[in-house]
A and B are shown apart, each in its own frame.
Chain A
């Protein structure tokens, strides 16, 4: 009987969003009550902001054309890690020397700064993220286009 009632409420799709939002709210309250959570100091991907650096916040250190020392989970999987941010194209080098905004042009121009962690060692994430974006574009485009026919 009770399952029948629950099933009847759930079968109306208008009830799902309030129900889910309620569950999210309850869990958010529990999460707030369980604060403070311990912060693990020994982070795998540490990031320090160097105020003077023009490559901020993608400055992983190291002189150009030599390998920088970067922390990785599986160093054996990324033998070339540390070379990416150490290399800048002439235009990128020019930008980094004349402006403070090199870090904001991650992939905005050819040979722009590439974050070692973001685009090299965790490259699969970078592939999946635009895939999500493109799939949602495809859905939006299809629905918008269909309205005309």
Chain B
């Protein structure tokens, strides 16, 4: 097997879907796990707006229902991330990545600010469009190699995965995680509620790291 992320330490079998923990995937898994725990135990930040020309400031309060919903979304995002980090199946990976994309939109969609909602809508459309290259990549992998298991595809005997399938997979992950669009994600970070919002960028970073391994493995 082409061991790009190190020798797998142990396997977790779900029938034909085998999650494997190599040093690389285990590190990413632990990162997602630790941050999920942070999200569970931490309280959201309170943004302070300073009023110009006056000796005043405003603290943005986050209501309890909004806090609960965003925490739920952030935990779901963390769980989806953990799944995407360790799964050893191409189709399962694409499913987890699209779950991460939807959770990202959910975290910001709960904010009541107009421009954040507007941004969340645009990200939602990108995540929606991203599923097309994502799942078509999985379909092409299945059709051209006959299998979806990364462990089988990593063996030298496996048929070659066409370059276009890898390109589609990367583009799909870019759409779901919006990884290269950090400049535009500034709108997201301006949303109040720090630990939950940072889950968006952490998850997109993690899935992007993982997809590099997947593409090199295939």
Contacts and interface: CB of A to CB of B under 8 A. Distances in A.
A72 to B, nearest CB: 6
B218 interface: no
B92 A20 contact: no
Nearest to A20: B126
Interface stretch (B50-58, B159-167, B191-199, B200-208): B159-167
A121 B110 contact: no
B35 interface: no
A27 B171 contact: yes
Contacts of B28: none
B42 interface: no
Given A21-B129, A123-B15, A13 B184 contact: yes
Contacts of A21: 129
B122 A125 contact: no
A8 B10 CA distance: 45
A37 interface: yes
Interface string B114-154: 00001100110110011011001000101111111100100
Nearest to B165: A37
Contacts of A139: 73, 102, 105-106, 109
B133 A24 contact: yes
Interface of B: 13-18, 65, 69, 72-73, 76, 80, 83, 87, 89, 91-92, 95-96, 98-99, 102-103, 105-106, 109-110, 112, 118-119, 122-123, 125-126, 129-130, 132-133, 136, 140, 142-149, 152, 159, 162-164, 167-168, 171, 174-175, 178, 180-181, 183-184, 186-187
Contact of B17 (A14, A124, A138, A142): A124
A148 interface: no
Interface in A50-78: 72-74, 77-78
Interface in A127-149: 128-129, 131-132, 135-136, 138-139, 142-143, 146
